[in-house]
Chain A
Amino acid sequence: MGRLSVDLCGIELDNPVIPASGTFGYGYEFAEIYDINCLGTFSFKGTTREPRFGNPTPRIAECTAGLINAIGLQNPGVDKVIAEELPKMAKVFHKKVMANVSGFSVEDYAYTCEKLDKIDQVGWLEVNISCPNVHGGGMTFGTDPKAAASVVGAVKKVTTKPVIIKLTPNVTDITAIARACEAEGADGISLINTLLGMRIDLKTRRPVIANVMGGFSGPAVFPVALRMVYQVAKAVKVPVIGIGGVSTAEDVIEMMLAGATAVEVGAANLVDPMACKNIIDDLPKVMDKYRIETLKDIIGGMR
């Protein structure tokens, strides 16, 4: 066990840095510029039962210290992901990957998770019940404790790997949702997905995003994410993955002090493809500066 290693649901990560789903594709573009095996793991592009093109463009709007996206879960569907993408991913990444799954019904989630659960290369299933960019699914399951629990229950029934539930911040009490997921057998909680936002183009007076609204992420959301990670980590016993605006090694440590076992990096990958590697390289120096011997000792260590 190195200074940076952590245990995520029974699997050791060399470090807690995980590129977040939707900001890292299947890793290929990043593997062109650095050896992505330095990552703890990565959460690949959200997978659904059927192939999806996603939303019309424009899908991206810039904001102060962040961006709004409304991709709409573009992906080739679970069968193609298993047949084509996972073997290709295995060539550039030799550790266990995290499979991010979305759906439009409880059955969808169970169907897709059951298929991915059979793949050895997949270490964890990250179940996204928080996508703000699709209608009749995604976030609808993440905003009600009972609906969230029903997804967890159905997925747990058909899988053997750790199931991590990815939560939306667009709720009144995120701890109630987290607790409901834990009670139904979730092995971990990741949060936060994006905050629902929008922009208007002053010249045209039309929304910048074709879908009108989208998910806001980037450094601007970090304090909100940190607060919610802190609240959820206190409310549940299972490991928590902190996500939201993380851009530096300092942010990683702050998330871990708030209670995160591991940390996902999202928007930062889009503006700096080297972001995750730089964060990992910086961690030992920053740990020295704050007299942190090993990262796992600081999880939830806020005084």
Chain B
Amino acid sequence: MKDVLFIIKENLAIAPQVYRMVLTGDCSQITAPGQFVNIRLDGLYLRRPISVCDLGGDDLTIIYKVVGKGTEQMSRMKEGGSLQVLTGLGNGYDLSCAGDAPLLIGGGVGVPPLYLLARKLREQGKTVSVVLGFNTKSEIFYEEEFRALGCGVTVTTVDGSYGTKGFVTDGLPENYSYFYCCGPEPMLKAVYKKARTSGQFSFEERMGCGFGACMGCSCRTITGYKRICKDGPVMRKEEILWED
């Protein structure tokens, strides 16, 4: 963990209300795909946790959706501006379980952290399949970026305006060695029920600190109480206890 001043290099709308921000600064503390950063914003007391989408040298890419005051403020920030960012938070995905042909399943703003994961898995020579779920065609982002990595990509849209009609669970392939999943909780539950192999899920929760001090984002698991920010956000399928 390190609190770092980053300079904004790019802040671009890539879909309605969805922005990609590239930040330059010390990324040394970010060690695994699936980790997140916590961003301090003027006039807002708590930081905003956003997952890491990609890394390259001193460049950190994040993708965020405007959902409230914090992300709205971020969307108005310009190139050359700066942000105080707590980096290297959370456990991230464990790549050692992937097998030869891992499947990556992302829904909406759950897609971004899978990009760095896909890139790392491709670098290891894995055959990577990706299922990306969106509500409608106009909301789709990063389909081409995943293809450019050499992943097999299936897109699902709830309204059927592009790709396979339905949810990500309607686009799952027959064969895969392991899966990694990030998205809204109903999607995680659906994948949990349908998946044929073991896998890892990335969770979201309202956080206080984002680094394990306040116990604001605790959850129960089969292996005990976990802090989503520190012991997660990635949990293994075998340890998950759904609350309801």
Contact = CB atoms under 8 A, between A and B. Distances in A.
On whether the two chains bind one another, the answer is yes
Given A269-B209, A271-B45, 17 more contacts: A25-B212, A28-B212, A29-B1, A29-B211, A33-B3, A54-B215, A57-B217, A57-B218, A57-B219, A60-B216, A62-B44, A67-B46, A67-B208, A69-B216, A74-B225, A271-B209, A273-B1
Given A53-B220, A74-B225, A62 B215 contact: no
B238 interface: no
Interface of B is mostly: loop
What 8 A-B pairs are tightest by C-beta distance, nearest first? A270-B209, A60-B216, A58-B206, A60-B208, A25-B213, A74-B215, A29-B212, A62-B46
B122 interface: no
Contact of B214 (A33, A60, A208, A218): A60
Contacts of A64: 45
Interface residues of A, number: 37
A60 B218 contact: no
Interface centre among B216, B217, B219, B225 (most CB of A within 10 A): B216
A80 to B, nearest CB: 11
Interface in B174-212: 205-209, 211-212
Contacts of A28: 212
Interface of A is mostly: loop
Contacts of A294: none
A54 B214 CA distance: 12
B40 interface: yes
Given A29-B230, A271-B40, A274-B3, A60 B213 contact: no
A66 to B, nearest CB: 6
Contacts of A22: 214-215
A65 B47 CA distance: 12
Interface string A223-264: 000000000000000000000000000000000000000000
A25 B1 CA distance: 16
Interface in B13-28: none
B78 interface: no
Contacts of B205: 57-58
Contacts of B86: 273
Contacts, number: 95
Range of interface residues on B (Cβ < 8 Å): 20 to 34
Interface string A55-83: 01111111111110101001000000000
13 contacts: A23-B213, A25-B215, A30-B213, A57-B217, A59-B208, A59-B216, A60-B46, A62-B44, A71-B215, A74-B218, A218-B45, A219-B45, A270-B214
A24 interface: yes
Contacts of A296: none
Interface in A269-300: 269-274
B147 interface: no
Interface string A25-47: 10011101100000000000100
Contacts of B219: 57
Contacts of B40: 271-272
Contact of B45 (A30, A54, A56, A63): A63
A270 B208 contact: yes
A25 B208 CA distance: 13
A69 B216 CA distance: 7
Contacts of A45: 215
A273 B212 CA distance: 11
B218 A67 contact: no
Contacts of A218: 45
B88 to A, nearest CB: 10
Interface centre among B206, B215, B217, B220 (most CB of A within 10 A): B215
A79 B3 CA distance: 35
Nearest to B70: A62
Contacts of B1: 29, 32-33, 273
Interface in A141-169: none
Nearest to B40: A271
A197 to B, nearest CB: 13
Interface in A78-116: none
Contact of B217 (A59, A269, A271): A59
A45 B212 CA distance: 12
Contacts of A58: 205-206
Contacts of A62: 44-46
A247 to B, nearest CB: 11
Contacts of B214: 22-23, 25, 60, 69, 71, 270
